[in-house]
Amino acid sequence: MENKRQSGSLTREQLDHYNVEGYLVLEDLLDEQDMAAPRAAMAEKVSMIADELYDDGLIADKLEGEPFKYRLAKLFAGKTDKDFLKYGRSWRDRIAGYYRLLSNPKILNAVESLIGDEIFANPVYNVRPKVPGVAAGAVPWHQDKSYWPDANANPVITVWIPLVDATLENGCLHIKPRTQIRKLLDWHAESHTGTGYTALHEHQLGKCPTVALPVKAGTAILFNDRVLHMSTPNGSDHVRWSVDLRYQPTDQDPMVQHGVGFLARSGKFPSRVATLADWLAERPEHEG
Ligand SMILES: O=C(O)CCC(=O)C(=O)O
């Protein structure tokens, strides 16, 4: 049992929970070692942003000594939503630490339990620094499928993992269980965050209760692309760092219009699994 939990593979009970409730919480899926590479990648990106802010005269101090949890929040303290969208919005960089995370065997073992061992890492993965006071931090109720309505890809599994503890105060994920069986609802693009997030109106949410999911850093929340979810604003003094990674079976639409995904695991063709070099070069499959 302990080995199974550590490997990420799901038990029968966990599979049943996912299938019935539409989501699953895997406590402590990642340990400090697993999180070191993605945290370093995020810190690298924060340094790039600090350089840009400094070069453009928006800050006088790059705050190099500030801890991971606080630095980006302090860099943007007193800045506008527009500044954040200009300097702090693009988070799909090809930094090695993100590949290490996307390829983490514990995550892939959990996904394999759900969809089998031919696993494609969808190009839509997000590194999310939810910065206090930035409107784009709060994500309205939506279904992920609204971002790829025309794709035949179903199911796409989201693996959401915070890199600092996600709390009610800093804006953890909220979910409506059992909504995975819903068809894709008509959505609209919201207009107050400046990001055009897809959103649903209150009256479309139905009577399903909402479950708030405060979880510790390294815990994973899995759900599919029909489940209604949202996150609240960050009312804390630090960044709520998280990632949402997406995986699907290889026989589904690779969604090239969203970027280049990669073959993350293959029982049939293990030699074709993308290497770090493939990923950095944006090649979906290993050629040799
Ligand atoms: O991380 C968040 O705050 C929201 C995540 C989300 O909406 C998603 O993963 O689809």
pLDDT score of 194: 85
Tokens of 187: 């959505």
Which of 98, 115, 204, 197 shows the shortest CA–CA distance to 153? 115
- Going from the Cα of 173 to the center of ligand 1, the distance in angstroms, rounded, reads 7
pLDDT score of 90: 73
Q: Which residue has the tokens 């819903």?
A: 182
Are 186 and 204 within 8 A, CB to CB?
A: yes
158 Cβ below 6 A of ligand 1: yes
Pocket test for ligand 1, best of 244, 246, 258 (most atoms within 8 A of CB): 244
247 Cβ below 6 A of ligand 1: no
Tell me the per-residue pLDDT of 244-272, one tens digit each, with 9 for 90 and over.
Answer: 999 999 999 989 889 999 999 999 999 99
Residues in the chain: 288
Alpha carbon nearest to ligand 1 atom 10, residue: 144
pLDDT score of 286: 62
Q: How far apart are CA 132 and CA 72, in angstroms?
A: 10
232 Cβ below 6 A of ligand 1: no
Q: How far apart are CA 207 and CA 210, in angstroms?
A: 9
Which of 214, 234, 216 shows the shortest CA–CA distance to 130? 234
pLDDT score of 283: 81
Closest atom of ligand 1 to 137 CA is: 3
The structural domains of the chain, with segments of one domain joined by +, span: 2-31+94-280
Tell me the per-residue pLDDT of 196-206, one tens digit each, with 9 for 90 and over.
Answer: 999 999 999 98
Which of 279, 262, 286, 280 shows the shortest CA–CA distance to 118? 262
Q: Which residue has the tokens 């930094």?
A: 95
231 Cβ below 6 A of ligand 1: yes
Distance of CA 132 to the CA centre of its chain: 18
pLDDT score of 153: 66
Angle at 150 between CA 23 and CA 261, to 5 degrees: 70
- Is 222 in a helix, a strand, or coil? strand
139 Cβ below 6 A of ligand 1: yes
Are 121 and 245 within 8 A, CB to CB?
A: yes
Q: How far apart are CA 227 and CA 181, in angstroms?
A: 8
Closest atom of ligand 1 to 230 CA is: 7
Tokens of 234: 């960050």
**2-31+94-280, CATH topology level:** Jelly Rolls (2.60.120)
User: Percent of the chain having pLDDT more than 90?
Assistant: 80
128 Cβ below 6 A of ligand 1: yes
Residues of the chain short of pLDDT 70, as ranges, are 1-6, 153, 285-288
pLDDT score of 136: 84
Would you tell me the crossing angle of helices 105-115 and 12-21 to the nearest 10 degrees?
70
Are 170 and 232 within 8 A, CB to CB?
A: no
| Number of other CB atoms surrounding residue 238 within 10 Å | 21
| Number of other CB atoms surrounding residue 278 within 10 Å | 20
